[in-house]
Chain A
Amino acid sequence: MKLTGSENKKLMIEGLWNNNPVFKQVLGICSTLAVTNLVLNTMVMCMALVFTLSLSAATVSILRNLTPHNIRMMVETLIIAFYVIIVDVLLKAYWPEMSGNLGPYVGLIITNCIVMGRCEAYGNTNPPGKAFMDGLFNALGYSFVLLIVATFRELFGMGTFLGLAMPYFSGPYWDKWIIMVMPPGAFFMLGIVVWVFRSIQAVREEKSS
């Protein structure tokens, strides 16, 4: 079965906006809180999730007609763990500093509910191409929300963006918000982001109905 452009577009809108894993499904929140204090760490974490989610959804989908129904979750966990370990090993070997920065959080992608959720809800019942695109757009939907949170946390908390000092925020007039660097800062930031996006969604739904 070939993917048509309109199907792709539908998957994209669903993953990035209508059914966004973070602010609509409210999944994967633990990593949102843990890795968003620096934009660079967040970017690497998001790339790891994009890789894991799209490929594991596709793999689950390839095996979907063969896997016995009663052990499917075991198989899914195994596949997810497989891709996560690959990312972890590659980071340790070729980017040890980043591996140290992210600490245990790369390994914890295995327990990220978004990955399991997409494999169960979509990969299990759809062909590999569609499952791959669905995983990709859901991961990107997660990524853009995380990057927004990380950008504000790094800017308010440290006065930098990607490690570069920003005008005004790194200067003497800006009193750095230490709470933004700490995990509670992510709670507030995430709450605000969810609030803003959900409000926009609500306004749009009212107009269209």
Chain B
Amino acid sequence: MIRKQPWFPIAYMFCVTAFFSSIVIGLTRLTSERVEANEQLAFERAVLSVLPGMDVDKMARSEIHKTFTESVNAPDASSNGAYIARQNGQITAYALPISGQGFWAPIKGVIGIETDKKTITGIAFYEQNETPGLGAEITQAPFRNQFEGKVMASEDEPINIRRPGATLGESEVHAVTGATQTSNRLEIIINTALRQWRHPNSEKGDGDSR
């Protein structure tokens, strides 16, 4: 009987593995385009939501992609790594990608900056894994809306995140209650990106610029 053969377990394992793996591989192939599109779309949605005059929440998937390709240009030499929003050829705003280590996992987001290169138009995150209900509140409107209209301070710390309840200056926002770690790390992420954006040459080779 074939089941009694010494090689049967090996052949059996091989066949079972081949069978199940091919289904999984097939399924991954089928969905890989969609998975990539989802990641791209999350980024495009974040960029659009920090630009003035865009109502991303009401846009459908296809509409987001269309608006992004029409009105946002990839970074060029003059924008120091920021995406450029244009309307009728005129620059309307910059969208600067930011990223760094959060409390649990990397945080990736975008900051919108006006053409005066000082005023913030908004902030959005497209990748984070902070604690739901605490650190993850940085993705919610109450925290994000604080950034609108803030003006970067000219010193080393363009934006300050202060403890909840503190009186705020024009470059300061409140931290999330109960999420000190996330807030502190986010402050570092934002300021590193903004400093580098304003002085791209002076910080080259600096340990901070990772």
Contact = CB atoms under 8 A, between A and B. Distances in A.
B80 interface: no
Contact of B38 (A74, A86, A96, A181): A96
A71 B20 contact: no
A21 B132 CA distance: 26
Interface in B148-193: 178
Given A37-B132, A37-B133, A68-B9, A75 B16 contact: yes
Given A78-B20, A82-B23, A70 B31 contact: no
Given A66-B12, A68-B12, A92 B31 contact: yes
A199 interface: no
Given A93-B31, A103-B129, 17 more contacts: A37-B132, A38-B132, A68-B3, A68-B8, A68-B9, A70-B9, A71-B13, A75-B16, A78-B16, A78-B17, A82-B23, A82-B24, A89-B28, A96-B38, A96-B42, A181-B131, A181-B134
B31 A181 contact: no
Interface of B: 3, 8-9, 12-13, 16-17, 20, 23-24, 27-28, 31, 34-35, 38-39, 42, 105, 127, 129, 131-134, 178
A182 interface: yes
Contacts of B13: 71, 74-75
A4 B9 CA distance: 35
Contact of A37 (B3, B35, B105, B131): B131
Given A70-B9, A82-B23, A181 B16 contact: no
Contacts of B12: 66-68, 71, 75
Contacts of A92: 31, 35, 38
A41 B17 CA distance: 31
B132 A86 contact: no
21 contacts: A38-B133, A66-B3, A67-B12, A68-B8, A68-B9, A71-B9, A71-B13, A75-B16, A78-B16, A78-B17, A79-B20, A89-B31, A92-B31, A92-B35, A96-B35, A96-B38, A100-B127, A103-B105, A103-B129, A178-B134, A182-B134
Contacts of B132: 37-38, 41, 101, 181
Nearest to A70: B9
A37 B178 CA distance: 15
Given A41-B132, A70-B9, A89 B27 contact: yes
A30 interface: no
Contact of B24 (A41, A74, A75, A86): A86
Nearest to A102: B129
Nearest to A181: B133
Q: Is the interface of A mostly helix, strand, loop or mixed?
A: helix
Contacts of A85: 24
Interface in A76-131: 78-79, 82, 85-86, 89-90, 92-94, 96, 100-101, 103
A156 B73 CA distance: 46
Q: Which 7 A-B pairs have the closest CB atoms?
A: A93-B31, A96-B38, A82-B20, A181-B133, A68-B9, A93-B34, A158-B133
A70 B12 CA distance: 12
Nearest to B41: A96
A100 to B, nearest CB: 7
Nearest to A90: B31
A40 to B, nearest CB: 10
A166 to B, nearest CB: 14
Contacts of B28: 89
